[in-house]
Amino acid sequence: MDRLPGRRTGFVKVAQAHDEEVLHKIRQGLVYTETEASFQAPQRRPDLVFEYNHTPPAQAERRRELLVAALGSVGERTVLLPPFHAGFGSNVHIGDDFFGNVNLTFVDDVDIRIGDGVMIAPSVTLTTTGHPVHPSRRTDFGRFSEPIVIEDKVWIGSNVVVLPGVRIGYGSVIGAGSVVSRDIPPMVVAVGVPCRVVRPITDDDLTTRTAEAG
């Protein structure tokens, strides 16, 4: 018989209050530590990601099952070429008709939301998390996290890095090698380090092959 039910209940309530306090800090984009966030460990899905990455191409149905289990949500007709990498997996949400090429990395300490018809080239990193500049604030892996949103019909080129808190607008193209540190509006071509808008996408692009600036 449990002789200390009241004490046990008290411990649970204290733990829940602590967890809610840390989640509030994370949602506000404030610095939090590895120890503070350790209660989130069960949401990580490394074994499922590992199995997906090692499932033969011929086993398409099994790959689909693993991807649905590993990620927060997955749309229809989704292609994600292995290997891919995810800190959690459970915080990644992908829409319909998605294509992700090899070595796509999700640093998904908070949500990464990807719309419909998005195409992502090889070796792209989507990171919701950064670290303070001063080393004393990086003790115990101090970090901050902000969600990433990629709207419908976006195309992201090879070796792009998308940083915390960024939203990329509908239909936009991000040139290869860019570092996206701020929001990108809809229907533009943006390139560079840091990534900047170079021109709008117009009907003239219906008759051209490339997305290069004129």
Q: Which residues have a catalytic role annotated?
A: 131
From 133, 132, 131, 98, select the one nearest 112 (Cα to Cα).
98
Bridge partner residues of 112 (DSSP):
92, 148
